[in-house]
Structure 1
Amino acid sequence: MEVNVATANGRAVLHLRGRFDFNSSRDFRDAIDIALGQPDTSGVQVDLGGVEYLDSSALGMLLMLRDRCKGANKTVSLSNCRGAVKQVLDIANFSRLFQIE
């Protein structure tokens, strides 16, 4: 998976592309560290528009991000969820845990 971090409107945006699975954990954690290390941001947005597949370990990583954002007093949201990715998030009831844009 490819992860790019950008800052826009006071938010760190993680743009993900490819398969979001266990093999992506190191790249995702590194991106989280960069995003949360930016003092001028009030939240983190995960753009899943380029993700073609995610598994249970990806769900766990998103939950870890949620916990870290809560600890840093930052908001977290998911965006551009569609297709199989949206189905997995719906089955896992992530709309109850995350703001989904």
Structure 2
Amino acid sequence: MDAQVSINDSQAVLRLGSRFDFKAHREFRDAVESLLGQAGSRNLQVDLAEVTYLDSSALGMLLMLRDKAKATNKDVALVGVKGSVKQVLDIANFSKLFSIA
């Protein structure tokens, strides 16, 4: 997986690529720490447009991000969701936990 962090005004974006699974745990965790460390960023977006596969550990990582962001008064949105990734998030009822676009 390739994780890229970018900051624009009060919004931070984490772009993920390819497979989002347990092997991506360390890279995802490091990117999350970078995102949450941005003092001026109130809104966090996880861009899943390039993700073609995610598993249950990826769902757990997204929940971890949500909890850590909430503890620092930041909002998380999942964007670029499509195809099989959208199906997995729908089945897991993530639309009740995240803003999804």
**TM-score interval (norm. to shorter):** over 0.9
| Separation in 2, partners of 1:66, 1:59 | 11
Contact 2:9 2:40 in 1 (8 A): no
In the alignment, what sits opposite 1:99? 99
Q: CA deviation at 1:64?
A: 0.2
Contact 1:43 1:69 in 2 (8 A): no
Contact 1:3 1:27 in 2 (8 A): yes
Structure 1: gaps spanning 5 or more residues = none
Contact 2:21 2:57 in 1 (8 A): yes
After superposing on structure 2, the runs of 4+ consecutive aligned residues of structure 1 that deviate more than 4 Å are none
| Separation in 2, partners of 1:78, 1:47 | 6
| Separation in 1, partners of 2:86, 2:46 | 13
Percent same amino acid at aligned positions? 57
Structure 2: gaps spanning 5 or more residues = none
Q: Number of aligned pairs? A: 101
1:32-85 deviation per Cα after TM superposition (whole angstroms, max 9, x unaligned): 000000101002100000001000000000000000000000000000100000
